[in-house]
Amino acid sequence: MAASDSWEEMMNAVQAFHDKHRFRETGGEEMLYRVALMAEELGEISSCVSKGKGREALAEEVADLLILVMGTAIAQDFDLNQAFWNKMEKLMQRQSRMIDGRIRVSEFRDMD
């Protein structure tokens, strides 16, 4: 499969994967199942990092997670591209803080 930077082509490829395996009809688009698969992928990403498996293995696991996230947008019928840009706009307005020696960007709420 040829690489493409087109978001639409990427989403079409994920849709074709869902269609090929009949995810909608066979439980592959059920949300609790998808969340479990995403948690599994996060575990595999963690394993790559903690065991020093290298950039290629990490890239493959991150791609698996991205495909699952894109498939979740398909399963729940929302525009992930638009959701991304909406969220980036919010994130760019947030402040950052150093917490335990690491940068954190969040909606900090000070406790009074």
pTM: 0.88
pLDDT of residue 1: 63
- In the predicted model, what is the mean pLDDT of residues 79-107? 95
Please tell me the distance from the alpha carbon of residue 47 to that of residue 41, in angstroms, as a whole number: 10
pLDDT band at 4 (very low <50, low <70, confident <90, very high): confident
Helix %, strand %, coil % of the chain (to 5):
65, 10, 25
Residue 49 lies in a domain: yes
- In the predicted model, what is the mean pLDDT of residues 84-90? 97
Residue 76 lies in a domain: yes
Q: How many domains does the chain have?
A: 1
Question: Would you say residue 52 has pLDDT above 70?
Answer: yes
Residue 1 lies in a domain: no
Residue 80 structural domain? 7-106
> Residue 22 is part of a domain; what is its CATH number?
1.10.287.1080
Residue with tokens 């000070």: 110
Residue 52 lies in a domain: yes
CB-based contact 70:10 (threshold 8 Å): yes
Please tell me the distance from the alpha carbon of residue 67 to that of residue 69, in angstroms, as a whole number: 5
